[in-house]
Amino acid sequence: MRASGILMHISSLPSPHGIGTFGQAAFEFVDFLERAGQRCWQVLPLGPTSFGDSPYQSFSTFAGNPYFIDLDLLEAEGLLEKNEYQGIDWGTDPRRTDYEKLYNNRFAVLHKAFCRGIARDADEIAAFRKKHAAWVEDYALFMAVKTSLNGCSWDCWPAEIRLREPEALAEYRSRMADDILFWIYLQYQFYNQWFAVKRYANRHGVQIIGDVPIYVAMDSADVWANPRLFQLDEELRPTHVAGVPPDYFAPQGQLWGNPLYDWDAHRQEGYAWWIERVRAATTFFDTVRIDHFRAFSGYYAIPFGDEDATGGHWEKGPRLELFDTLKDALGECSIIAEDLGDLDADVYRLLEQSGFPGMKVLQFAFDSNWDNAYLPHNHKKNCVVYTGTHDNDTLMHWWATALSPHDRRHAADYICLNEREGLNWGLLRAVWSSVADLAIAPIQDFLALGGEARMNTPSVGTGNWQFRLEGGRLTPALAEKIERMSGLYQRSAL
């Protein structure tokens, strides 16, 4: 079935309180998608973000970001007073998230809700805690200890808790019981609010596409609680870390720094951790996009401590064995494979064996090479085509700055761009008319926004993940225009 959707992260939703949340704007966006004939809403990872504010570097692969808990909903539940959060300076620019102000102010407000709700919601919290015991206890202890140590990364904690000595774990859990309960309560609220949004979306014919990074952050409850599953030494320091090798765009390669999986250890445990990770993701989302799919075929290992990625080497990944195991445990899961980048025959073979749709990106199409796999006439049905991803520039700024004059003329001729239609709408038409089963574009491209609205610039450490949509931009006229284009190419849900 042909379909289409819009990519907009939760953090980008309009909000008077510094960042997008699961409040009224989320439900209104679902209404907009329904009016626009869209079947899919794609979001980025929902985990609690760490230093750098990237959703791809999270304190937990199972937990949710407390910033997304809506304060107005808490007030409606009697857990907050309006004057406890409406007078706070959450940032002065409605188009940008000020993460420093969120970090400094949000948790004190959430703690007020916790103090009012912990006794009232005791039974529900106990049930939540029991249901999610496999991860929430370690996560809450992790956050309690981290907070008590001024945010210090766990690999710098005192040895007894860093190494998870049983007596130390028991002592910290006893001493920090109230703090642990606070972090559990935030997850309880996060899960309640998120699944209310998801149920509403599903009832209105909108499926949620979520994102799962292949790697987890070193400074995460996942690594701290499961060190045996990662390539760590006896002191729990990484032996090798993730990245990608040098290429034309990055002569030193890219050094990501995430700890690598010990795939032999995962295999010996029947991939149990991965089963639970994907089970959680397919509960959160209707479809799961797996980032950096190529690393399941072969991954790039860089010696820990190297200053760049030039000294890395390739190692074999788990390949089809992992996905066969997941299928046996979970049944058929709706998965999109992020297969972008420099791929080899083994990756293409794994993608074909898995049956997962890969990705095509229009911004990668125009290099004057007619064999370019991203050109729409080279697409196939079993793929998802994008104007650009969260790592790409906006269409308008890409067109103005990234293409050579020759490639710009080539693209204009290929798509038959014209002023009457508008540049962004012509480029969107090229994506929507593709034979690909699913077409998606970021909300920035429908609104013809410039480079100031870019979500992320890879390898640039500051200024990312801040884009927010101003209220009032999602008009009925825009919804009608999107629905008309989607209907023309048989992608409309209406």
Active-site residues: which are they?
A: 291, 338, 391
Residue-wise DSSP of 305-360:
T-SSSTT-EEEE--THHHHHHHHHHH-S--EEE---SS--HHHHHHHHHH---EEE
Residue-wise DSSP of 425-492:
HHHHHHHHTSSSSEEEEEHHHHTT--GGG----TT--SS-S-B-PPTT-S-HHHHHHHHHHHHHTT--
Q: Which amino acid is it at 474?
A: L
What are the backbone dihedrals phi and psi of residue 472, each rounded to the nearest 5 degrees, phi first? 90, -5
Q: How buried is residue 179: exposed, middle or buried, by Cβ count under 10 Å (0-12/13-18/19+)?
A: middle
Give the Cα separation of 283 and 366 in Å (integer).
38
DSSP H or E run through 187: helix 177-203
Rg (CA), the chain: 23
Contact 1, 437 (CB under 8 A): yes
Whole-number Cα distances in Å, 78 to 111, 270, 347: 14, 45, 52
Give the Cα separation of 63 and 394 in Å (integer).
30
What are the backbone dihedrals phi and psi of residue 411, each rounded to the nearest 5 degrees, phi first? -65, -40
